[in-house]
Amino acid sequence: MRKLIFAIIPAAMLALSCEKEIKFTGNYDGEKLVLFSLAEPGHPLSVQVRKSRFFLGERTGNPTQLLSGVTVQARSGNEEISFERDEEGVYRSSYVPSEGDHIEISASMEGFASVRAETTVPRAPEVTITRGETRLRRLRSGNDYTLEIHFKLTFHDRAGERDRYKVSMYTKNYITDDRYYAVTKADGESDPHVFYVDKTLKTKDMLLMESGTDITNLDIEERYAFFEYLEDGSFDGEDRVFDVWCESYVSEETALLPNYGLGDYEWVFDILSLSEDQYSYLVSLQKYCDSDDLASIFGEPVCIHNNVKGGIGCFGSVSGICVTLK
């Protein structure tokens, strides 16, 4: 009987549904310049400029096409920075940012309002990383195992600064460019025995568990938070240790191989200090990408952070370190 009721309800909704054209009554002030740039020590400053598109307009042309004929200018202190457009459509300069530089960028083009943005390059983070234990546990179903490779990250945070960090990890001898998985082979073994290492770092640290970080349920008893973005609001000026891990899902046959703990492999950590705008942009972009269709209909919309005045986009900055462990 319950199955019949659940079958009737969707059918009734379909029968009652109808289409109605609703006119757009909001304010639309035309297309805008879309500017993206990232200042990073060791890399010449470059700028990409596109144009926005009205969401109710005609879907013509390539919305990601870079514009030509744009005047791009920048200044850092008393230094004027000039740009030249390359064959790919990117405006490039010879200026290489340094930590602490304050940079202002402007762009103008006929038919568009001029845009401008600014950023201050943060100092590189001070982090110590050590290898922790490796835990092997059998999954609840089947004969497969989960291999947890643990690390301890100690952030030596600077007092009086609002620091924002981004942490990513990969194995150096991976044989795939997959974003989420690094594929490695056991020592002396052929292709059939392959370790798929999930590069997503996880933690059960209470700071991140209670700070509104996206939490995923492993099962009824276990919970973890993704360890990627964090702020120093609760440990400003302190040495803060985080216990994090990544996972490898291995078969029973692979788990019994010598060196199954991947002890001889190199683990590479990229740790960035982010400017406030770059941090807000990346976090909001991730929330937007993680929102599903149902949430976009019934939930609050996710607004992607924008710090380009007069237009759309983000001009941010980062400074980073790379730590390799064996």
Query: Of the given ranges (8-17, 51-60, 109-118, 121-130), which has the lowest mean pLDDT?
Result: 8-17
H/E stretch holding 207 reads: helix 206-209
Cα dihedral 16/20/25/28 (nearest 10) = 110
pTM summary value:
0.79
Instruction: Identify the top-confidence range among 76-80, 174-178, 222-226.
Output: 76-80
Tokens 């089947």 -> residue:
142
pLDDT of residue 38: 98
Short-list 80, 89, 98, CA closest to 44:
98
pLDDT tens for residues 211-252? 544 444 333 345 777 788 999 988 999 999 999 988 877 666
Report the mean per-residue pLDDT for the chain: 79
Provide the token pair at 141.
Answer: 């179903």
How far apart (Å, rounded) are the C-alpha atoms in residues 31 and 41?
Answer: 33
pLDDT of residue 325: 85
Banded model confidence at residue 69, pLDDT cuts 50, 70, 90: very high
Residue 159 has pLDDT above 70, yes or no: yes
Count how many Cα atoms sit within 13 Å of the Cα of residue 143 in the half-sphere of its side chain: 6
| 165 CB-near residues (< 8 Å, 6+ apart) | 125, 155, 229, 230, 231, 232, 271, 272, 273, 274
Output DSSP code: residue 254.
Answer: H
pLDDT higher at 275 or 299: 275
Decide: 153 and 127 in contact? Cβ < 8 Å: yes
Residue 177 has pLDDT above 50, yes or no: no
Query: Of the given ranges (201-205, 274-278, 279-283), which has the lowest mean pLDDT?
Result: 201-205
Hey, what amino acid is at 74?
A
Output DSSP code: residue 152.
Answer: E
pLDDT of residue 215: 41
Hey, what amino acid is at 156?
H
pLDDT of residue 143: 63
Identify the three-state secondary structure at position 16.
helix
Query: Of the given ranges (14-28, 212-226, 249-263), which has the lowest mean pLDDT?
Result: 212-226
| 323 CB-near residues (< 8 Å, 6+ apart) | 127, 129, 268, 269, 271
154-167 burial, b at 16+ Cβ within 10 Å, e below that, comes to ebebeeeeebbbbb
Residue 278 has pLDDT above 80, yes or no: yes
Decide: 13 and 290 in contact? Cβ < 8 Å: no
Domains in the chain and their CATH numbers?
A: 33-54+61-122+305-318 (2.60.40), 127-274 (2.60.40)
Q: CB atoms < 10 A from the CB of 126, how many?
A: 15
Banded model confidence at residue 16, pLDDT cuts 50, 70, 90: low
Banded model confidence at residue 36, pLDDT cuts 50, 70, 90: very high
Identify the three-state secondary structure at position 129.
strand
pLDDT of residue 57: 66
Percent of the chain past pLDDT 90, that is, above it, reads 45
Short-list 28, 91, 41, CA closest to 320:
41
pLDDT of residue 170: 79
pLDDT of residue 146: 78
pLDDT tens for residues 105-156? 999 999 999 999 999 999 999 999 998 887 777 766 666 777 788 899 999 9
Residue 272 has pLDDT above 80, yes or no: yes
Work out the end-to-end distance of the chain between its first and last CA atoms, rounded to an integer number of angstroms. Answer: 61
